[in-house]
Amino acid sequence: MIATRKTICLMLMSGCLWAADAVADAPGAVITLQETVTVSEERIVLRDVAEVEGETDAGDLVVGNSPWPGSSRRVSAALVRMRLLGEGYDLRQFEFRGPETAVVTRSAHRIEPEKIIDTARKHLRNRFPAGLESAQISLIGDCPPVVVGEASKDGIKLLPSTRNNGRKGTTVTVDVDVINNGRRLKRIPLRFSVSVEEKVAIAGRHIRTGERIEREDVQFRVTNVGGLSGAPLTDPDALAGKVAARSISPGQVITVNAIGEPEPEVVVRTNQRVTLVFNNGSLSMDTSAKALHGARVGERVRVENLISGRIVEGVAREDGVVEVGSSANSQTGR
């Protein structure tokens, strides 16, 4: 009888222990993978790809990186188990249901080529000065569509900028930056050919540096000036009295920076005998002197007094006179 009671007690104790182990091993959460999901963030967390039920914080577990916008990738139950183990979770606490693999697609915003090209073309046209609205701007090559992640509340912005310091030329590159939430996602370089037809001054002969440009030396014709580095001359009156600032070849378009004012005439030459005038305002006297170097009107020149042999410095005047004194200093700003 006593043995029977001991046997019953042992059986009851074993049953309680088994029940306790069963309770301990019972899953505390259920993870049900979804067949297909769409995400917008750069990281995939468990709750993005599965329904997580029960008392657990595993829903915030990062299971991988999102695919490129508009693309897909697979997240398997095996990957989820591996990530759980890596973070120290006990897999006996979870029950897995649903398919073995979830297909994850990244949401995307598609920017059509026409919008990108139009943004670049408007930016480029605005770089031209008034009067050149007729400029022909043509795209070189193709512009594919651009796919980026989901737009922020401020939307996707396209910010264009011009290379070559914004200088118009026969070929210009415009970079269009795709901006989302203040961050540049992509830069799209677009090349354009630019043709600007305008009636401008063209040299009819070779004009040397410093040579005066006469009206008969120039023709005004309509030509493409898109590749010029300077503003072309369009007004015939702008050439009046001007000289070539550099050598101009026949057929070359004459630009504003290719012409200049003629230098003052040389009025005193080396070893020339000149009249040296001393003038301090109340007293004036003159004598003969020899110029030691040449000078233009208003330039300072050193001369040798032929009577005293002294070397003095004065200012050359238009009549070939060299003036010394307070009046001469006022002419040169000294």
Q: Measure the CA–CA gap between 219 and 256, rounded to whole angstroms.
A: 15
Q: Measure the CA–CA gap between 210 and 297, rounded to whole angstroms.
A: 17
Instruction: State the burial class of residue 124 (Cβ atoms within 10 Å of its Cβ: 0-12, 13-18, 19+).
Output: buried
Q: Measure the CA–CA gap between 87 and 118, rounded to whole angstroms.
A: 50
Per residue in 90-128, pLDDT (tens digit) is 999 999 999 999 999 998 888 999 999 999 999 888 876
Per residue in 22-69, pLDDT (tens digit) is 444 556 899 999 999 999 888 999 999 999 999 899 999 999 999 988
Per residue in 196-245, pLDDT (tens digit) is 778 889 999 999 998 889 889 999 988 877 666 678 888 888 888 888 88
Rg (CA), the chain: 44
Q: Measure the CA–CA gap between 75 and 45, rounded to whole angstroms.
A: 11
Residue 143 has pLDDT above 70, yes or no: yes
Per residue in 262-311, pLDDT (tens digit) is 877 788 999 999 999 988 777 788 899 999 998 988 899 999 999 999 99
pLDDT score at 18: 43
